[in-house]
Structure 1
Amino acid sequence: MTGYADDLALAHLLADRADAIATSRFRALDLRVEAKPDLTPVSDADTAVEREIRALLAEHRPADGLLGEEYGAQPASDADGRRWIVDPIDGTKNFVRGVPVWATLIALFDADRPVVGVVSAPALGRRWWASLGAGAYAGPGPAAGERIGVSAVRRLADASFCYSSLTGWERAGRLDAMLDLMRASWRSRAYGDFYGYMLLAEGALDVMVEPELSLWDMAALVPIITEAGGTVTDLAGRPAPAGAPGTESSLVATNGVLHADILTRLDRPAEH
């Protein structure tokens, strides 16, 4: 048990409630979907899940801050206090199309670092979780979890390489480097969203990279990957996420052994 055991238990409760709401709306004929200002979709399930999580946190952790994708930031009562980071449904595009790869992401920041992470994917029957110093686990739920760990693959030629899409890398001027990475890898697949990172934490693949993510997209992933023995930074090699709301960051996650090689390869400038 660690100092964050009670917070992890609460995060599981939040995930249980989120699972119940989201599952009831998944593939519902009357699901309502709208476009946000950035033209990404939001469903009535996204908003209902975040409202429920906010209500539970107001009851159980009223002094803590909160940042959610749909309803923004609520400051902590203490300027240097703890805050929860929530993505009610990561993979909304999958959710609204009936693809079962989506999850609720719940993280706790303390002293501006992620110390608890829960990723719950009820349509897959799978949940991943971790708290600082207590290891990373996966299974149907906390009563039936097994400890997980990253792979020991040491060469890119033997590695399974994962990414979300190529369009963001093209915008970032690193498409050539990405394509070279894919060619140099044993296998490359675009699983996308939370799923590639959780497969990395389980040791099923070895590298997952994305050029642009919001804080709520990555906060819950970091404790799980690092407690599983992996390494997570941005493209410059700085620990990620930095924790600043409203900003985007790149994310490079590996089994640790491959990390320096991946950063070096992605740093190659575009050819013209």
Structure 2
Amino acid sequence: MTVPAYSDDLALATRLADAADALTTARFRALDLAVSAKPDRTPVTDADTAVEDAIREILSTERPGDTVAGEERGGTAGSEGRAWVIDPIDGTKNFLRGVPVWATLIALVEDGTPVVGMISAPLLGRRWWAARGEGAHLRDAAGERRMSVSKVATLGDAYLSTTDLNSWTEYHSREKYLALTEACWESRAFGDFWSHCLVAEGAMDVAAECIVNPWDVAAAQVIVTEAGGRFTDLSGAETYEGGSALSTNGLLHDEALAVLRRQ
């Protein structure tokens, strides 16, 4: 029997997610939660830094030769070698407000391509993961199952999840946001990691974000593609480093890009 190429890395990602969940759930709604602002005015909590530090400590023992790039402590993945790309809490604003939609995102990037992705949202009771060539999986209250994207074939029948209109106005295009939402059957704003995970599950057909960082979407890229979907930036480049993100069931991708490219 052939052992999957990334089985050890996926097992390690599971351990990292377990350690992160223990810390985040203990600090969620904590009265003494310490909050500060980064230079871009986005919030960071003591839980964010504690999770990233804990993950880095485990990786320093288990994968001392790998690079680590995280939202809070810095670092870059590069285009060669192995790097773990970490977002300790994706959805920090939700975490601060007591909204249970946040997750720890863990990706292994090999020679510039995400090959393992782990997204754990403990307050939602959901965890998504994938490894290259091994499919994408979900564990929730109903148990564990392999995921696959939807079969919706036209945007007019599609369920879209996207982000705040003000962000599109500031960083991309208000007109293109409206064009995409109007081209689809329905639109929602689940936001952040959840939009892309729902595409991988087949619950959503399209997810679009006008501004992201690499740690926001590295894990999502491999999860969506292993579920049979397609992941690019808004220009169509197949990268997690393009500063934006578009994930679809694959059937709708070119049509969505065409809408976003219209003048």
- TM-based fold match above 0.5: yes
User: SS at the partner of 1:145?
Assistant: strand
Aligned equivalents of 2:244, 2:109: Cα separation in 1: 19
Task: Tell me the CA shift for residue 95 of structure 1.
Answer: 0.2
2:219 aligned partner: 220
Aligned equivalents of 2:116, 2:7: Cα separation in 1: 9
Aligned equivalents of 1:69, 1:16: Cα separation in 2: 19
2:83 aligned partner: 83
Aligned equivalents of 1:179, 1:66: Cα separation in 2: 38
1:69 aligned partner: 71
Q: Specify whether residues 186 and 53 from structure 1 end up closer, same or farther in structure 2 by C-alpha distance, changes over 3 A only.
A: same
Give a deviation string over 1:193-245, Cα, whole Å, max 9, x none.
10111111000010000111100001010110000000011122110214xxx
User: SS at the partner of 1:2?
Assistant: coil
1:158 aligned partner: 157
Give a deviation string over 1:92-135, Cα, whole Å, max 9, x none.
00001000000000000111100000000000010000000000
2:205 aligned partner: 206
TM-score, L = length of structure 2: 0.95
1:266 aligned partner: 260
Aligned equivalents of 2:50, 2:101: Cα separation in 1: 19
TM-score, L = length of structure 1: 0.92
**Is the CA contact 2:162–2:207 (under 8 Å) kept in the aligned structure 1?**
yes
Alignment partner for residue 257 of structure 1, among 240, 251, 261? 251
Aligned equivalents of 1:48, 1:182: Cα separation in 2: 38
Q: Give the % identical residues.
A: 53
Task: Tell me the CA shift for residue 173 of structure 1.
Answer: 4.7
Task: Tell me the CA shift for residue 83 of structure 1.
Answer: 0.5
Superposed, which structure 2 residues align to 1:26-65 within 5 Å? Answer: 26-65=28-67
Unmatched segments (≥5 aa) in structure 1? 243-247
2:22 aligned partner: 20
Match status 1:11 vs 2:10: no
**Is the CA contact 2:128–2:197 (under 8 Å) kept in the aligned structure 1?**
yes
State the one-letter code of the partner of 1:218: V
Match status 1:130 vs 2:150: no
Unmatched segments (≥5 aa) in structure 2? none
Task: Tell me the CA shift for residue 137 of structure 1.
Answer: 0.2
RMSD of aligned C-alpha atoms?
Answer: 1.6
**Is the CA contact 1:2–1:132 (under 8 Å) kept in the aligned structure 2?**
no
Task: Tell me the CA shift for residue 66 of structure 1.
Answer: 0.5
User: SS at the partner of 1:249?
Assistant: coil
Give a deviation string over 1:16-48, Cα, whole Å, max 9, x none.
000000000001111111111110000110000
**Is the CA contact 2:77–2:85 (under 8 Å) kept in the aligned structure 1?**
no
Give a deviation string over 1:64-92, Cα, whole Å, max 9, x none.
0010000011789xx93200000000000
Structure 1 runs (4+) deviating above 4 angstroms are none
Aligned equivalents of 1:199, 1:34: Cα separation in 2: 31
**Is the CA contact 1:174–1:266 (under 8 Å) kept in the aligned structure 2?**
no
Instruction: Count matched residues.
Output: 260
State the one-letter code of the partner of 2:251: V
State the one-letter code of the partner of 1:256: G
State the one-letter code of the partner of 1:255: N
Aligned equivalents of 1:215, 1:180: Cα separation in 2: 26
Aligned equivalents of 2:235, 2:105: Cα separation in 1: 25
Aligned equivalents of 2:44, 2:251: Cα separation in 1: 38
**Is the CA contact 1:64–1:75 (under 8 Å) kept in the aligned structure 2?**
no
Task: Tell me the CA shift for residue 156 of structure 1.
Answer: 1.1
State the one-letter code of the partner of 2:11: A
**Is the CA contact 2:129–2:223 (under 8 Å) kept in the aligned structure 1?**
yes
Q: Specify whether residues 131 and 167 from structure 1 end up closer, same or farther in structure 2 by C-alpha distance, changes over 3 A only.
A: same
Aligned equivalents of 1:115, 1:212: Cα separation in 2: 22
State the one-letter code of the partner of 1:61: R
Task: Tell me the CA shift for residue 185 of structure 1.
Answer: 1.4
